């Protein structure tokens, strides 16, 4: 039985290695890692007064986990420019209350590079930024910058159809 509606011959799930991010209407260069999109609902325990032996569980507050992005250090200023809208060495006047929150889009690509699924993440802001990793002259590694985005939720972009594979 086919598991995909458009590509009835496909049985394999999409890989996690092909993706891209977009904010301010353009793709962000070099992002190599994006943490999971995760949300949870806090449970509230309660019981009825006439039934002291049974607890009931109801949903309460939603919580959206922060998203961590990583990429190799380059001259592209996008990560640092966004982080500077929340905190800036030039003082409070340089912080942008209007522009420090952004909506972003995370696109998952199939093996042919076509968008298979996309998620819109709302009202993100940078709560942590690392410009350089620990530097070690004896290491054989790429220098990675990372940032942590707080967000107020996400939803799947239903306008993205399953791509036809050729």
Domain of 71 in residue numbering reads as 19-156
- Is residue 3 within 8 Å of 10, Cβ to Cβ? yes
Q: Give the CATH number of the domain where residue 139 resides.
A: 2.30.110.20
Cα 118 from Cα 42, distance rounded (Å): 26
In a domain, 162, yes or no: no
In a domain, 43, yes or no: yes
In a domain, 116, yes or no: yes
pLDDT digit string, tens, across residues 21-67: 999 999 999 999 999 999 999 999 988 888 778 888 999 999 999 99
pLDDT digit string, tens, across residues 59-99: 999 999 999 999 999 999 999 999 988 876 776 766 777 78
In a domain, 161, yes or no: no
In a domain, 164, yes or no: no
In a domain, 76, yes or no: yes
The total number of structural domains in the chain stands at 1
Cα 4 from Cα 137, distance rounded (Å): 49
Residue 138, both tokens? 């004896």
Cα 166 from Cα 162, distance rounded (Å): 13
DSSP 71-128: EE--S--HHHHHHTTTS-TT-GGGS-TTTS-EEEEEEEE-TTS-EEEEEEEEEEEEEE
CB-count burial class (<10 Å; 0-12, 13-18, 19+) for 100: middle
Residue 29, both tokens? 């260069």
């Amino acid at each position: 039985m086919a598991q995909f509606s458009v590509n009835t011959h496909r049985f394999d799930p999409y890989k996690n290695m092909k993706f891209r991010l977009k904010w301010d209407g353009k793709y962000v260069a070099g992002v190599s890692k994006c943490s999971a999109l995760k949300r949870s609902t806090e449970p509230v325990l309660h019981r009825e007064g006439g039934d002291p032996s049974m607890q009931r569980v109801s949903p309460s507050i939603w919580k959206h986990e922060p998203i961590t992005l990583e990429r190799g250090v380059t001259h592209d200023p996008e990560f640092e420019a966004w982080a500077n809208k929340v905190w800036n060495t030039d003082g409070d006047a340089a912080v942008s209350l209007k522009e420090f929150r952004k909506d972003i889009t995370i696109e998952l690509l199939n093996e042919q590079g076509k968008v298979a699924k996309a998620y819109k993440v709302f009202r993100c802001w940078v709560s942590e930024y690392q410009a350089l990793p620990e530097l070690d002259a004896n290491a054989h590694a790429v220098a990675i910058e990372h940032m942590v985005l707080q967000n107020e939720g996400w939803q799947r972009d239903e306008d993205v159809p399953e791509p036809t594979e050729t």
